[in-house]
Structure formats: structure tokens, C-alpha cells
Amino acid sequence: MATHILTHPMLESATEIRVNFPAILLEELARRVPQRERDRFIVDSVERELRRLRLQAALQLLRDEQAWTDANHPDLMTVDDVDVYVRALRERPSAYTLNSAVNSADE
């Protein structure tokens, strides 16, 4: 294994595999990516695709399972109920407001 590969954290304990690529894909890879950078390029590409698949699965799970049901929030059934709730939130002091940050700095 070449030393340049070790710059990728996932390749520190790398395992060699055999993968069949379509010839046209390998030709383009050879044209566009220098030989010494191909391992890293392929690992980065697979890593990116796996991240996309994990995100896609998480989004599908969120679509399949309701995060909000009327039964869980009977106090927020009408527009007026929601308006009262939002107003109460806005009036409540927050640790993230500028005033509370300034006041705590003065103490």
C-alpha cells in the first residue's frame, strides 16, 4: 500500500478488495484522476454515496413515521390554539436572547 493513501483517515486500516469496473468507467477514471490519487478518489466517492444512502433512509423513516399527531397535542387543535402557544413562547425569556446574555454578563 502506498504512503499517499494513509492521508485518508479511513484508509489507515484499509483492506484490499477486488472490484470489477466497466472498461469505459476505468478509462475515464484514468484520464481524469492521477494514478496515485485513485484509491482516495474511489474511497471518497463510496463514502459520499453511502452518506447519501444513509440520509435517504433517514428521510424515508421520517416520512413513514409521523412526528406529530393530533392525539399528542390536543391543546393545539385550532389556529387560535397555535397562536396562543407561539405568543407564550415568544414572551418566555430565553438563554439565547441578547438581553439575557447581557444581563448574565453584568452579574
pLDDT digits (tens, 9 = 90+) for 15-44: 999 999 999 999 999 999 999 999 999 999
Q: Which positions ≥6 away from 93 have C-beta within 8 Å?
A: 100
76 touches 85 (CB < 8 A)? yes
Contact indicator for 38, 8 with CB cutoff of 8 Å: no
Retrieve residue 20's grid coordinates.
470489477
Position 6 scores a pLDDT of 47
Rounded-to-integer distance, Cα 53 and Cα 3, Å: 30
Give the chain's mean pLDDT.
84
Q: What is the dihedral sign for C-alpha 15, 18, 21, 27?
A: positive
pTM of the entire structure? 0.55
